[in-house]
Structure 1
Amino acid sequence: MPVTTVTKDPEALTMTVVADFTAPLRRLWDAYADPRSLERFWGPPGWPATFTRHDVAVGGLSQYVMTGPDGEASGGYWEWLSVDELKGFEVLDGFALADGSPNREMPAMRMVFSFEATDGDGSRVTTTTYFPSFEAMEQLVRMGMEEGMRAAMGQMDDVIADLTSYAAGNGVETQILSDTLVRITRVIRGSVEDVWRAHHDPDLLRRWLLGPDGWTMPVCEVATGVGEGYRYEWAPAEGTAGDRFGFTGELLESLPPHRTVTTEAMIGMDGPSTLNELTLTAVDGGTLLSLVITYPSAELRDIVLGTGMTTGMETSYRRLEGLLA
């Protein structure tokens, strides 16, 4: 079991959990930074978590749902207060209602995660929870918070050992999170700042966001501010089969260089648009690009995924890595 000590201080209203691992510091940090890894242990056995949002940046937000063996659901959120890569981060941790909004009837806690390297290429994470009151501390301890953290962190050894499966170069990964939510991830060799710039510089976009070879991007109108629209169009080069197509939408949120939220609709097609949430996170090997797409229905989700969309995305991301190199 990685948890070595649990210390409760009723006077300071804190509970401190120390866990040690025989893994490098970078690998331990990435277990928390990568939602694919975090959701494998953020929840005790039998209650796996699904993270629909995970912003490792000041001002960001993480949202998750833990699902029990009988289908029970328990939601939560993190409001990111500080981030110091490989050293620590601080969040406001709370319970969430079914729609993802904070459950104000339950206490929220400030949690500070501190990371350090230890002897023999090992690492340690110290998690200190600050409760808003003695009553809140008593309530959450009675609910099994200590036991839950011990059980959840007991799963981390296997997760950390398996992090190499998410290394750069493994290609696009597609995960269906719900009937309407899909998460597409790819580790791109390059810094967060460079990957962000490549998504917002029209000259760079025209060089890599092309899908299969043989296509051009004659229209690349980038939204530079919230509320502005964008328009992208692709056309086959001479001798390449296919018809011209494109997408348009609106920039709804922007948190440079970590997150954007846009709508997306295919030009000339009727029907509701999708919601695209792009998050960039520094991890071992480069930048983890996470794109969570909300479709209006499961039927449309399956139709779009069946077009080979992710194959074209993988070709584009490989082309992007070549530019960044």
Structure 2
Amino acid sequence: MKPDLHFSFQTDMQSNRLTIRREFDAPKDLVWDCYTKAELLDQWFAPEPFTAKTKSMAFEEGGHWHFAMVDPDGNEHWVRFDYKSITPKDGYRAQDAFSDANGSINRDMPVSTWDVTFEDASPRTLVQINSTYETPEALQEVIDMGMKEGMEATLSGLDRLLAKLS
């Protein structure tokens, strides 16, 4: 029987924060690798029918991950994560922003700071993303763009990858 993997999506308009919690039926080291290695991220980090395609990645403080979410017609929607701090296996902080193909941030779209933590709940792993936006309007914009549904679909893709890797 498949375990009940909890997904929660909470918004706090007072603090411009989105909190996403998701449990995975896999050990913490494997979940960490899936969030921090380009060859694994490319296999899950986009909601179907989109796919992820890394252009460059340096998972280190001061480094970045620059990738495209590619739709079925081949259109690329570029994103850039800039890693601010990393605590190996436990979490990281990064700026998340839409960008162009060269990695220049699109200031007309919402920019957020992601604090991502990984908690060992053997045999499972709990991942929490606290995503803080500059304004309540920016947070509302990503909600209106389908952030909840997109993250739920994206994290289901990670479930499928973890099942293959386990």
Q: Distance in 1 between matches of 2:56 and 2:165?
A: 20
- Over residues 123-169 of structure 1, what are the superposed CA-to-partner deviations in whole Å (9 max), with x where a residue is unaligned? 110011101101101111101111111110011112123336xxxxx
Residue aligned with 2:85, SS: strand
1:152-171 to 2 correspondence within 5 Å? Answer: 152-163=154-165
Calculate the TM-score normalised by the size of structure 1: 0.48
Structure 1: which 5+ runs fail to align?
A: 165-325
Q: Distance in 1 between matches of 2:75 and 2:6?
A: 27
- Over residues 208-240 of structure 1, what are the superposed CA-to-partner deviations in whole Å (9 max), with x where a residue is unaligned? xxxxxxxxxxxxxxxxxxxxxxxxxxxxxxxxx
Q: Which amino acid aligns with 2:135?
A: S
Deviating 4+ runs (over 4 angstroms): none
Counterpart pick for 2:56 among 42, 45, 53: 53
Aligned to 1:128: 130
Q: Is the 8 A contact 2:110 2:141 kept in 1?
A: no
Q: Is the 8 A contact 2:11 2:19 kept in 1?
A: yes
Aligned to 1:82: 85
Q: Is the 8 A contact 1:13 1:133 kept in 2?
A: yes
Following superposition, the deviation at residue 2 of structure 1 comes to 4.1
Q: Is the 8 A contact 1:87 1:115 kept in 2?
A: yes
Q: Which amino acid aligns with 2:111?
A: A
Q: Is the 8 A contact 2:112 2:131 kept in 1?
A: yes
Aligned to 1:26: 29
Calculate the TM-score normalised by the size of structure 2: 0.92
Residue aligned with 2:48, SS: coil
Percentage of identical aligned residues: 26
Q: Distance in 2 between matches of 1:49 and 1:3?
A: 24
Residue aligned with 1:155, SS: helix
- Over residues 68-116 of structure 1, what are the superposed CA-to-partner deviations in whole Å (9 max), with x where a residue is unaligned? 0122210000110010011000100000113332112112100010001
Residue aligned with 2:30, SS: helix
- RMSD between aligned alpha carbons? 1.4
Q: Is the 8 A contact 1:37 1:163 kept in 2?
A: no
Q: Distance in 2 between matches of 1:116 and 1:17?
A: 14
Higher relative contact order (CA 8 A, sep 6+): 2
Q: Which amino acid aligns with 1:73?
A: E
Aligned to 1:16: 19
- Over residues 35-69 of structure 1, what are the superposed CA-to-partner deviations in whole Å (9 max), with x where a residue is unaligned? 11112221101110111212111000110011101
Q: Distance in 1 between matches of 2:6 and 2:133?
A: 20
Q: Is the 8 A contact 1:31 1:163 kept in 2?
A: no
1:232-271 to 2 correspondence within 5 Å? Answer: none
Q: Distance in 2 between matches of 1:163 and 1:35?
A: 15
Residue aligned with 1:18, SS: strand
Q: Distance in 2 between matches of 1:61 and 1:33?
A: 11
Q: Which amino acid aligns with 1:9?
A: D
Q: Which amino acid aligns with 2:22?
A: A
Gap change, CA 1:2 and 1:101, over 3 Å in 2: farther
Residue aligned with 1:147, SS: helix
Residue aligned with 1:154, SS: helix
Residue aligned with 2:139, SS: helix
Q: Is the 8 A contact 1:3 1:17 kept in 2?
A: no
